[in-house]
């Protein structure tokens, strides 16, 4: 049985999926057509239901709950893992200035953009771009501010950029919940027992990765935007955690809170009960 599988080239995803897609574990007869793409590309594809199994940001999932359901393994949630709003100048921007500024974002359907709008309702001038281009956009004054994610959390200060606000920290303070960033979703049309087996394989793949850590495998190195192994480890250690093994009640509660927040911000009502968002 073969499935299309999409995830990002970032170290947290390649770390999780390395053993599965490179057959370092027994895949129990399952095969995968693998595509690695920027998360916003995966978000756009999810809106088109292009892939059978896909990494995606939570706002993209919230728009596709009729087509996709979440697996328990492979997610990115946590505390202290949120996006940062950065600037070229060290001086603090006021709330009104932030609302009126041009802001580079890593995609309209990303959790980063949702958290930006949660912190600063009424923002008008956002410019979506690939996450790895955002630091340069701010440095070159193409935009006044930028929302950075992934390994850029560890590199922006080296480039002379300055944090204005930790958008994840703002969410944690207001909602008293971990930050749900991204998850692995599977098409609802796939048999639930098959989905559970695939979830188990992702979990085994991550367990293999942990068993061999802190070695950075060639698969992770090959696809990383940042060639420094220490930055790769910082990235993995920040975004891969117990929630990546299993969402658990705390993880599911956080996702449900973000879902209800998203619906409220969009002025929408839920087509499904929050319990029906998850395979298990």
| Burial readout 101-129 (b: 16 or more C-beta within 10 A, e: otherwise) | bbbbbbbebbbbbbbbbbbbeebeebeeb
Query: Whose structure tokens read 């007869």?
Result: 29
Residue 32 in tokens: 């995968």
Candidate list 109, 125, 150, 162, residue with the active-site label:
150
Indicate if 162 belongs to the active site: no
Contacts (Cβ under 8 Å, ≥6 apart) of 171: 82, 115, 118, 119, 177, 179
Q: Rounded CA gap, 144 and 250, in Å?
A: 36
**Does 214 sit behind a cis peptide bond, omega within 30 degrees of 0 on the bond before it?**
yes
Contacts (Cβ under 8 Å, ≥6 apart) of 66: 188, 271, 272
Query: Whose structure tokens read 């599911």?
Result: 252
Active site positions, annotated: 150
């Amino acid at each position: 049985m073969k499935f299309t599988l999409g995830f990002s080239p970032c170290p947290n995803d390649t770390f999780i999926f390395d053993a599965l897609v490179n057959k370092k574990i027994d895949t129990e007869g399952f095969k995968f057509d693998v595509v690695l793409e920027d998360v916003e590309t995966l978000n756009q594809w999810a809106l088109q239901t292009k892939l059978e199994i896909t990494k995606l940001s939570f706002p993209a999932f919230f728009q596709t709950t009729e087509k996709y359901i979440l697996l328990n393994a492979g997610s990115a949630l946590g505390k202290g893992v949120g996006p940062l709003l950065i600037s070229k100048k060290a001086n603090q921007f006021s709330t009104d200035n932030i609302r009126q500024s041009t802001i580079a974002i890593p995609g309209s359907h990303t959790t980063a953009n949702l958290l930006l709008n949660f912190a600063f309702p009424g923002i008008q001038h956002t410019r979506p771009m690939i996450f790895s281009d955002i630091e340069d956009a701010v440095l070159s004054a193409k935009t006044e501010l930028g929302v950075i994610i992934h390994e850029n959390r560890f590199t922006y200060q080296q480039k002379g950029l300055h944090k204005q606000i930790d958008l994840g920290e703002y969410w944690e303070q207001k909602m008293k919940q971990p930050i749900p960033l991204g998850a692995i979703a599977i098409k609802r049309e796939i048999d639930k027992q098959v989905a559970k087996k695939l979830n188990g394989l992702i979990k085994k793949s991550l367990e293999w990765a942990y068993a061999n850590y802190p070695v950075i495998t060639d698969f992770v190195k090959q696809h990383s935007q940042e060639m420094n192994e220490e930055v790769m480890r910082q990235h993995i250690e920040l975004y891969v955690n117990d929630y990546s093994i299993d969402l658990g009640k705390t993880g599911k509660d956080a996702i449900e809170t973000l879902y209800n927040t998203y619906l409220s911000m969009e002025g929408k009502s839920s087509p499904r009960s929050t319990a029906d968002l998850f395979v298990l």
